[in-house]
Structure 1
Amino acid sequence: MAKQRSAEAPPFRERVYTTLYRLRYGWQFRSSVEISKEEPIWVLGTNYYDDPESGDKHRDVEGAPPHVMAFMEHFYSVPWMTYRSNFPPISNTALTTDCGWGCMVRSGQMVLATALNRHMLGRDWRLPTSSDKDKDIHAKVMSWFADCPSPQAPFSMHALMDQAVRHDNHPGDWFGPSQVSVIMRECMKVAKTAIPDLKNVQVYVAYDCTVYVKDVLQLFHDQYDEALVLLVPVRLGSETLNSIYIPCIQGLLSLDCCVGIIGGRPKHSVYFIGFQDDKLIHLDPHYCQSAQILEDGDDPCQFDTKTYHCPTPRKILANKMDPSCTIGFYCKGLAEFHALREEAEKVLAPPKQKGVCH
């Protein structure tokens, strides 16, 4: 069985980190962010809005309208990666926690996990209503991100840091969204040899905010079998976000193929998944939990996923977003990639910015 290490096991320094980060970022799971019942809510290409024909008969016991309940189901289903403590030391270091430095890497894990969930289960999968079989598949996907050095956890912090070192980065450093994109691409190359479910998944990182279609087409060996995770690092302003890009960000988050944005505030990374009005909805990795370990011989389908889902949405004003970010997309097959090209060109703003290069 997958094991979660005891919260009392970490040494004093890790216990202090855990306490400080829980206090600093004010995590209280019973608190709630105001979700307007009147304004539409967008989450990863799905629009939740009030249906006047639904009537009060579909409202829950607390009076929440059905579109808000549907949004909460979707939000809770999105993978949530946080700081972890008391994992095996990252190779060639004494680091057994990523508290204080790993938030951008965790945000990257969330984008990739969302894409792989979609690859394995489809974009309409929801955890609360899924079958036991689908829950097992979801558990297997999440086991690939377990906090341990194992070929069966190809996207663990350990695996990502192994690739980071090869690209002249160091565990314990703060990573930018483009750096995280590159190391996830490299991890996927390794994962494809160890995990049969990933043999047809490709990761493409678009440099200079440009997707070269010819390069992407070379990744598709068969338009029905191949899947693409497309990561586009961008900078949307100099020191602060240029407000002209806010409609573009919202438009991209409303696309079917979008799997979110690695971004946040300066030196405080979060994972953006949607928006309502002028606020961006996100998952925050700044909460330290005990490491989730996948032991040799464990059944990945029995991996415990309870700590990988957040019940509390968070929002920030769109204009507070850091200008440096990476936008993620998932395309299952060549047809979806071509559809993404057409739809993305419609929402890019300003019209003359770089986007797709033929």
Structure 2
Amino acid sequence: METLKLEMFQTKYENQINVFSEFLEDLPDTNEPVWILGECYNVKTEKSELLSDVHSKLWFTYRKKFSPIGGTGPSSDTGWGCMLRCGQMILAQALVCQHLGREWRWVAEGPQPTEYQRILHCFLDRKDSCYSIHQMAQMGVGEGKSVGEWYGPNTVAQVLKKLALFDDWNSLAVYVSMDNTVVIEDIRKQCCQGAWPRSGAYGWGESQPSDRSWSGRGRAEEAGPAPYPCSQQARGWRPLLLLIPLRMGINNMNPVYIQALKECFKMPQSCGVLGGKPNLAYYFIGFIDDELIYLDPHTTQLAVDSETGTPVHDQSYHCQRSPHRMKITSLEPSVALVRPPQTSGFFCRSEEDFDGWCSQVQQELVRKRNLRLFELVEKHPPHWPPFVPPTKPDVQTTGAEFIESTDKLFESEEEFEILNV
């Protein structure tokens, strides 16, 4: 009976089409700039560059015929895995920026960097890939989500936060804010505790992160000295993925937040936005005028497998047809009865990037906007519990087995949208 219900659910959502969608290649002849994750394009003169940027984004969709999750679970995530796939996309964008740089572009059939292939291996649909659908679904079990159940953005954020603890190669610090408040002091504590030793578990040589910053934008000299710089004892700054749960209205998205949301896409640290409603999630990567541009995970493809250390056939991991557009006002807020989630993302590879992001938030979102998307504070609020940075457990495990039944980290899915930073 459960299998029949799941198959019916998969059929219902496999070819989901949003009534507000239009193709990117059908953009109007306009002078309005197009913003894609911190990069600005002119539609009339830079269309090919714009499409190249969009097609370079890793595109994760429903898959079928992968090994059953947990050995006896589903072998397809059609109908329930769209938010997990969007979570994979926003995380993959952070990893691409970390190892390849924001300016990197994918070329079909062309040679690819070793780091690119290693990133892809992190997301393959197999139980031993760090951020696979298997790992994410099983890690969610410890947070009250059954395998095959639709996830909201809060659940995805917390699952990624836990799985990142087992990812020695990327050594990513995933920080989830509380009560619409980003605490600078806490983030510095988490990012300055030092990167874990890198390992060659996947069979490739070690990557060397690029020294290039975000096109010179958001530099530390612009933001001023860091109020809580890394100590001399710290081994360096761990790359940061910051997640900020938000409320942006009650029954509909409040128009006063639209400009602030656009400003998030303009920031060079932007990794995109997760949005949608129960059973329907999208990955938003930019905007033009009053429309958002997004990648849609609601396409079912055959699972791709590749032996450890060998190249992945990557054609199906890039959306080579045009992505879609939808009106910003079509987004619905994440509140108690409505529940459609929304998540915006930013990635800071260095402490200087984080200083620059803080400076831009203060200038563009805090000082200029009457209604703030979130609060940015220097010190940990004294009435909050003490902040303890998560650390890698002293156990030998892939991550999916490390499920703490007493460690309930989530806020209710009904309460928040999430801004991914």
Do they fold alike, i.e. is TM over 0.5?
yes
Farther-moved stretch of structure 1 (153-162 vs 35-44): 35-44
Assess if the C-alpha contact under 8 Å between 1:41 and 1:274 holds in 2: yes
Aligned to 2:313, which of 279, 304, 313? 304
CA spacing shift, 1:215–1:176, aligned 2, 3 Å: same
Aligned to 1:208, which of 179, 201, 207? 179
SS at match of 2:79: coil
CA distance in 2, matches of 1:128, 1:249: 31
Are residues 1:174 and 2:150 paired? Answer: yes
CA distance in 2, matches of 1:132, 1:112: 23
> What is aligned with 1:234?
246
Once the two structures are TM-superposed, the CA of residue 287 in structure 1 deviates from its matched residue by 0.6
> What is aligned with 1:141?
119
SS at match of 1:114: helix
CA RMSD, Structure 1 to Structure 2 (Å): 2.7
Assess if the C-alpha contact under 8 Å between 2:14 and 2:78 holds in 1: no
Assess if the C-alpha contact under 8 Å between 2:10 and 2:80 holds in 1: no
CA distance in 1, matches of 2:188, 2:312: 35
> What is aligned with 2:364?
347
Q: Which runs of 5+ in 2 are unaligned?
A: 195-229, 231-235, 335-341, 379-421
SS at match of 1:204: strand
CA spacing shift, 1:117–1:353, aligned 2, 3 Å: closer
State percent identity of aligned pairs: 29
> What is aligned with 1:60?
none
Q: Which runs of 5+ in 1 are unaligned?
A: 1-10, 51-64
Once the two structures are TM-superposed, the CA of residue 128 in structure 1 deviates from its matched residue by 2.4
Residues 204-230 of structure 1: per-residue CA shift (max 9 Å, x gap): 111222111111001233665521111
> What is aligned with 1:80?
59
SS at match of 2:167: helix
Higher helix share: 1
Matches for 1:229-308 after TM superposition, within 5 Å = 229-265=241-277, 267-295=279-307, 298-300=308-310, 302-308=311-317
Farther-moved stretch of structure 1 (235-244 vs 182-191): 235-244
Aligned to 1:111, which of 83, 86, 90? 90
SS at match of 1:238: coil
Are residues 1:217 and 2:210 paired? Answer: no
CA distance in 2, matches of 1:191, 1:43: 28
Letter of the 1:338 partner, please give it: D
Assess if the C-alpha contact under 8 Å between 2:37 and 2:286 holds in 1: yes
CA spacing shift, 1:278–1:266, aligned 2, 3 Å: farther
Are residues 1:163 and 2:139 paired? Answer: yes
Assess if the C-alpha contact under 8 Å between 1:237 and 1:323 holds in 2: yes
CA distance in 2, matches of 1:24, 1:131: 32
Are residues 1:356 and 2:403 paired? Answer: no
Letter of the 1:356 partner, please give it: L
CA spacing shift, 1:23–1:260, aligned 2, 3 Å: closer
Assess if the C-alpha contact under 8 Å between 1:345 and 1:355 holds in 2: no
CA distance in 2, matches of 1:235, 1:49: 32
Are residues 1:35 and 2:27 paired? Answer: yes
CA distance in 2, matches of 1:171, 1:291: 18
CA distance in 1, matches of 2:99, 2:269: 15
Residues 289-341 of structure 1: per-residue CA shift (max 9 Å, x gap): 1112244xx325x0121111112120010001122322211001111111101
SS at match of 1:208: coil
CA distance in 1, matches of 2:179, 2:79: 29
Are residues 1:25 and 2:17 paired? Answer: yes
CA spacing shift, 1:176–1:141, aligned 2, 3 Å: same
Residues 50-84 of structure 1: per-residue CA shift (max 9 Å, x gap): 6xxxxxxxxxxxxxx44111110000001111011
> What is aligned with 1:58?
none
> What is aligned with 1:336?
353
Assess if the C-alpha contact under 8 Å between 1:262 and 1:326 holds in 2: yes
Once the two structures are TM-superposed, the CA of residue 159 in structure 1 deviates from its matched residue by 0.7
CA distance in 2, matches of 1:265, 1:278: 20
CA distance in 2, matches of 1:266, 1:243: 22
Residues 154-179 of structure 1: per-residue CA shift (max 9 Å, x gap): 00011111211122222111111111
CA distance in 1, matches of 2:184, 2:292: 30
CA distance in 1, matches of 2:37, 2:372: 25
The number of aligned residues is: 321
